[in-house]
Amino acid sequence: KRSYGKKNLLKRCFQEMLEEEEEHEWFIPARDLPQTMDQIQDQFNDLVISDGSSLEDLVFKSNLNPNAKEFVPGVKY
């Protein structure tokens, strides 16, 4: 069992904390967020998920029950 002086122990703990922080990828808004409306629009365009189906096709292919009771949280049927 190795003993450290209080000063050395604190120094070592602090060093380990710094090393752990460096391992993480931090979110930095100024770097990670788009800066212009064009960039924001580009990001939204990338988010569109579509296979070209029309709304009618999606409804027709749906397996949801249109006659099902409305879900109300906390109510048991």
pLDDT in tens, 10-65: 899 989 888 887 777 777 777 777 678 787 888 777 776 666 667 777 777 778 88
- For residue 72, pLDDT beyond 60: yes
Q: What is the DSSP letter of 71?
A: P
C-alpha to C-alpha distance for 4 and 10, rounded to whole angstroms: 9
Over 60: is that where the pLDDT of 1 sits?
A: no
Identify whether the C-beta of residue 49 lies closer than 8 Å to the C-beta of residue 58: no
Q: Quote the CA–CA distance of 17 and 32 in Å, as a whole number.
A: 24
* Contacts for 53 with CB less than 8 Å, ≥ 6 apart: 61
Task: Give the model's pLDDT for residue 17.
Answer: 87
Is residue 74 pLDDT above 70, yes or no?
A: yes
Give the model's pLDDT for residue 63.
Answer: 82
